[in-house]
Amino acid sequence: MTTAARAGATSPEVDRTALAAYVLGLGDDALILAQRLGEWITRAPQIEEDIALGNIALDLLGQARTLLGYAGELEGAVTGQPRDEDDLAFLRDEREFRNIQLVEIENGDFAVTMARQLIFSSYQYELYSALSSSTDPTLSALAAKAVKEVDYHRDHATQWVLRLGDGTQESHDRMQAGLDRVWPYVEEIFDATDTVAALPGIAVDPARLRPAWSDHVEHVLAEATLTVPTPKWRSRGGRIGYHSENLGHLLPEMQNLHRSHPGATW
Amino acid sequence: MTVTLDQTAPVTAPATLTLQRLREIAGAVPDPEIPVLTLHDLGILRDVQITANGVVDVTLTPTYTGCPATAVIAADVETALRAAGVEQLVVRTVLSPAWTTDWMSEDGKSKLREYGIAPPGACRPPSSGPRPIGLSLSARCPRCGSARTREISRFGSTPCKSLWSCLACAEPFDSFKAI
């Protein structure tokens, strides 16, 4: 028998409903981006990138499994009906997903994907660094583990943004276009939520991560001779179930097998 | 076969598995991806205990959270312990404290090199502050020993490795990432 052991018990006074929602949001970010990155496999510009994006997706999927498993467990403690990682990944519909919209947007060309990766992994790096000292033992254990993986993800995206931005005119223009495409989704990452407010010491207020995130990302963009975009609109609401049409296209591909063959295993 | 699980039993007693012996058996299980390394070499066998009611309790930690070998490793440990006569066991995976390549044994690092994989260097703490251009030492070629090598990709055939090429002997090689 194999079990994934939790690092410790959640203390009784914690708002488990809020904690389940918070963990679900972080798990959905990792899951949906893993699915998007997986779409690059066999389509990346070079085989090393195929492997790199597949590896990053795999790390994210590992994080998603831990987070969704924990969210389902917490939810079960409240409702009496726990759901496992597969139930949560494959049997929820669009409006039940709690990921930020950034992770669901289509891959676009390689520059769009790298712009999204730079933004997301820089955020996740700061998030997991901060969550490493969360008072929730399961979250702090995962964060301390995953921050080391995400350090590589951020570095990978950073290297590519520098190379493309400060490369040829064509690569520069396309990298800038990639940034322009994804930048409207940046503000939403740092939006306050009721869930975070209900979990002092456990959850991390995303606004707190903004200065360190900006330091890194803006430094990279300056070095890469790229301009920080000033978008005319901004996304909002992923954490409360509002999504772009992109998620509706992603989910059937991700869920089809499980829904067609319930309980199927490899 | 009846197996007595007793932490204090002498090692030499027939049909008796001491805690030390159980640790040796579990620690000797080879990694499925890099079979020259044992779980002991990798430093991912965290603990083996015998509970009050005689259940063997094994704790493993994954190298990477998404490493697909984790489930295979747990199954291999179970198989090895059952083959040694253990009947009741539980294999658990814990994330904390997070695994680091610094826990790899020196013997394990030598075995990696002989196998053709550059062993990990000492782990640096996660980066802090702006660090757009990462500087790191080049991996030494495990075949010819040259330090004139080039990183081809930060990501290799498994999550724990990066892909390098040697400029001296022109051979490509894997390098175990320090995390």
Q: Which of B93, B127, B179 sits opposite A5 (nearest CB)?
A: B93
Q: Kindly indicate the confidence band of residue A264, based on its pLDDT and cuts at 50, 70 and 90.
A: confident
pLDDT of residue B138: 83
B94 contact residues in A (CB cutoff 8 A): 5, 7, 141
Name the DSSP letter for residue B150: E
Q: Is A51 on the interface with B (CB under 8 A)?
A: yes
**Pick from B13-22, B26-35, B93-102: least confident:** B13-22
H helices of B28-176, in order, are 39-42, 69-83, 106-115
Q: Domain containing A114 — which CATH number?
A: 1.20.1260.10
Helix or strand run (H / E) with residue A109? none
Q: Is A135 on the interface with B (CB under 8 A)?
A: no
Quickly state the pLDDT bin for B7 (edges 50, 70, 90): very low
User: Which residues make Cβ contacts (< 8 Å) with residue A151, sequence separation at least 6?
Assistant: A125, B126, B127, B179
pLDDT digits (tens, 9 = 90+) for B112-159: 999 999 999 887 665 554 454 555 678 899 999 999 999 888 888 888
**Alpha carbon of residue A53 to chain centroid:** 14
- A128-148 pLDDT per residue, tens: 999 999 999 999 999 999 999
pLDDT of residue B69: 87
CA pair distance A250, B123, nearest whole angstrom: 38
- Alpha-carbon distance of B160 to B141, in angstroms, equals 17
For residue B95, CA distances in Å to A183, A207, B4 come to 34, 27, 31
Residues of B in contact with A65 (CB under 8 A): 65-66
Asked, for residue A102, whether it belongs to a domain, the answer is yes
Contact A51 B153 (CB under 8 A): yes
Q: Does residue A1 lie within any of the structural domains?
A: no
pLDDT of residue A40: 97
ipTM for this model = 0.76
Query: For chain A, how many structural domains are there in total?
Result: 1
The candidate with the shortest Cα–Cα distance to A205, out of A259, A126, A140, is A126
Residue A129 forms contact with B (CB below 8 Å)? yes
The answer to which of A28-37, A113-122, A253-262 has the lowest mean pLDDT is A253-262
What phi, psi does B95 have (nearest 5°)? Answer: -95, -20
Contact A64, A31 (CB under 8 A): yes
A264 burial level (CB within 10 Å; 0-12, 13-18, 19+)? exposed
Question: Are B126 and A148 in contact (CB < 8 Å)?
Answer: yes
Contact: A145, B65; criterion CB under 8 Å:
yes
Please name the residue that has the structure tokens 């059937």.
Answer: A252
Residue A54 DSSP label: H
CA distance B95 to B44: 10
Mean pLDDT, range A228-237, rounded to an integer: 97
Q: What pLDDT digit, counting tens, does each position of B23-49 carry?
A: 999 999 999 988 999 999 999 999 999
In a domain, A266, yes or no: no
Between A2 and A183, name the one with better pLDDT.
A183
Please judge whether A149 and B64 are an interchain contact, meaning their C-beta atoms are less than 8 angstroms apart: yes
Structural domains of chain B, with CATH: 4-93 (3.30.300.130), 101-123+137-176 (no CATH)
**pLDDT category of residue A208 using cuts at 50, 70 and 90:** very high
Average pLDDT over residues A160-178: 97
Does the residue A4 lie in any domain?
Answer: no
A88 touches chain B (CB under 8 A): no
Residue among B75, B93, B98 minimizing CB distance to A144: B98
Are B81 and B56 within 8 A, CB to CB? Answer: yes
Q: Which amino acid is at A60?
A: L
d(CA A266, CA B21): 34
Q: pLDDT above 90 covers what percent of chain A?
A: 91
Which band of pLDDT confidence, cut at 50, 70 and 90, is reported for residue B1? very low
Q: Does the residue A3 lie in any domain? A: no
Say yes or no for a CB contact (<8 Å) between B157 and A59.
Answer: no
Contact B132 A147 (CB under 8 A): no
User: Residue B147: how many CA atoms within 13 Å on its side-chain side?
Assistant: 3
Question: Is B86 in contact with B18 (CB distance < 8 Å)?
Answer: no
Contact B66 A63 (CB under 8 A): yes
Answer yes or no: is A84 within a domain. yes
> Which one-letter amino acid corresponds to residue A218?
E
Q: Among candidates A95, A113, A111, which has minimal Cα distance to A40? A: A113
> Highest-confidence range of A116-120, B39-43, B79-83, B136-140, by mean pLDDT?
A116-120
B156–A51 C-beta distance less than 8 A: yes
Residue A8 inside a domain? The answer is no
CB B43 within 8 A of CB B160: no
pLDDT of residue B135: 55
Choose the mutation target among A46, A145, A160 for the interface with B, i.e. most B CBs under 10 Å: A145
Could you give the CA distance from residue A106 to residue A89 in angstroms, rounded to a whole number? 19
- Summarize pLDDT for A5-62 with one digit per residue, the tens: 444 556 667 899 999 999 999 999 999 999 999 999 999 998 889 999 999 999 999 9
* DSSP for B50-73, written as a single string: E-TTS-EEEEE--SSTT-THHHHH
| Domain span at A66 | 16-229+237-259
When the pLDDT of each residue in chain B is averaged and rounded to a whole number, the result is: 84
**For residue A2, is it within any domain?**
no
Cβ pairs bridging A and B (under 8 Å): 121
Q: Do A62 and B130 touch (CB under 8 A)?
A: no
Tokens, residue A158: 């950073």
Report how far residue B30's alpha carbon sits from residue B73's, in angstroms, rounded to the nearest whole number.
8
Please tell me the predicted confidence (pLDDT) of residue B5.
46
Please tell me the predicted confidence (pLDDT) of residue A262.
Answer: 87
B97 preceded by a cis bond (ω within 30 of 0) = yes
Q: Is the peptide bond before B125 cis (omega within 30 degrees of 0)?
A: no
Per DSSP, what are the bridge partners of residue B175?
Answer: B118, B162
